[in-house]
A and B are shown apart, each in its own frame.
Chain A
């Protein structure tokens, strides 16, 4: 019965690595199932048929499978403690000045000096590996219902570095799909992506409105 199952599974081997790992995980589960079914009145997985070396393998099987499940359960429980972590970041973004607004290859391009200051240290928990922080300009145009352009980013790996002030020009080109910038109002939002040491990533943000492009090219 087991041989038939293995042949059926091997038949669908597409990428050997992943399929082999899947089969490896399924073998202990199948073996426990079949031994429970074959011992009719008993419901205990420990009622294996005693037959020489098979006893050792069945027991090793059961122990390893249980260990794997227990380890996974503990990992998930530990990472759940990160969900109740409260953070209280403070952020401020200001546009110091526009250094240029021009048309290039049929699209508008802006160059802007930003004053970004933030205290993101409360976001760090035991499960935080690093923060990916970026500031994006968001606006709507007649052609596009949503535009998002990342202007500046930074990777913060330690809690001490999470208090910072950046006085910089936009790191990445601030180019529109079209020529809509003149006189347009836009938001600047800071997003922080919390990269965990294990399991789920999550995202926080803070938005600032009321910024406006100059009315003419210069």
Chain B
């Protein structure tokens, strides 16, 4: 995650209370309190017309630093396909486990 402060333009992964899937969106507003040092963060998906307040919990207008689980630093092409394929086609998971079991049996 890193201790560098969250700044506008960064892509962050955050969890909203009540939702189980984290959201990966860009920060468009940051307000850092002078006394407590806490930040209020507003995010928005690049292709969305409106900000993410519709996705936050009821009455929640801002995200806190605690909601942010990580930030995006780079891009690895096609890396996610292994996980996506195995989630969409569960039989691939069984094939993989079968191959692993085979390796166990024929190795010493």
Distance in angstroms from B81 CB to nearest chain A CB is: 11
Interface bits A35-71 vs B (CB < 8 Å: 1, else 0) = 0000000000000000001100100000000000000
Q: A141's closest neighbor in chain B, by CB?
A: B34
Q: Please indicate the chain A residues that have their CB under 8 angstroms from the CB of B93 in the complex.
A: 16-17, 20
Whether B46 lies near A132 (C-beta < 8 A) is yes
- B96, CB-defined interface residue at 8 Å: yes
Any B CB within 8 A of the CB of A84: no
Alpha-carbon distance between A40 and B72 when the two chains are bound, in angstroms: 46
**Contact in complex: B108, A17 (CB < 8 Å):** no
Chain A's nearest CB lies how many Å from the CB of B22? 14
The answer to whether B33 and A148 have CB atoms under 8 Å apart is no
CB of B88, distance to nearest CB on chain A (Å): 11
- Whether A199 pairs with B30 at a CB distance below 8 angstroms is no
Q: Is A146 an interface residue (CB 8 A)?
A: yes
Complex alpha-carbon distance, A161 and B80, angstroms: 30
Grouping DSSP codes into helix (H, G, I), strand (E, B) and loop, the B interface class, with mixed when no group exceeds half, is mixed
Q: Do B108 and A155 have beta carbons less than 8 Å apart?
A: no
Check if B100 sits within 8 Å of A53, measured CB to CB. no
> Do B9 and A203 touch across chains, with their CB atoms under 8 A apart?
yes
Instruction: Pick the residue among A149, A155, A177, A200 that contacts B8 (CB under 8 A).
Output: A149
A199 and B74 contacting across the interface, CB-CB below 8 Å: yes
Closest residue of chain A to B61 (Cβ to Cβ) is: A177
Question: In whole Å, how far is A175's beta carbon from the nearest beta carbon of chain B?
Answer: 9
The docked-state distance in angstroms from the alpha carbon of A190 to that of B16 is: 29
Query: Is A201 touching B73 in the complex (CB atoms < 8 A)?
Result: yes
Contacting residues, chain A, for B97 (C-beta < 8 A): 20
CA distance A6 to B107 in the complex (A): 12
B77 within 8 A of partner (CB): yes
Instruction: Decide if B8 touches A148 in the complex (CB within 8 Å).
Output: yes
A150 contacts B34, C-beta separation under 8 Å:
no
- Give the distance to chain B from A170, nearest Cβ to Cβ, in Å: 12
Check if A193 is an interface residue, CB within 8 A of chain B: yes
Instruction: Tell me the bound Cα distance from A23 to B101 in angstroms.
Output: 12
Q: Which residues of B contact A20 (CB under 8 A)?
A: 86, 93, 96-97, 100
Q: Choose one: A3, A53, A132, A199; the contact of B104 (CB below 8 Å).
A: A3
Considering the chains assembled together, what is the distance between the CA atoms of A149 and B74 in angstroms? 24
Interface contact A150-B28, CB-CB below 8 Å = yes
Q: Which of A18, A23, A150, A199 contacts B75 (CB 8 A)?
A: A199
- B residues less than 8 Å from A77 (CB atoms): none
Question: Among B51, B73, B87, B100, which residue has its beta carbon within 8 angstroms of that of A172?
Answer: B51
Chain A residues with CB under 8 Å of B77's CB are 197-198
What are 11 pairs between A and B in contact, CB < 8 Å? Answer: A17-B93, A18-B83, A21-B82, A27-B103, A132-B26, A145-B33, A149-B8, A153-B46, A191-B9, A200-B73, A201-B74
Residues of A within 8 A of B (CB): 2-3, 6, 16-18, 20-21, 23-24, 27, 31, 53-54, 57, 129, 132, 134, 136, 142-150, 153, 155, 172, 177, 191, 193, 195-201, 203
Residues of chain B at the chain A interface (Cβ within 8 Å): 7-9, 26, 28-34, 37, 40, 44, 46, 51, 72-77, 82-83, 86-87, 93, 96-97, 100, 103-104, 106-108
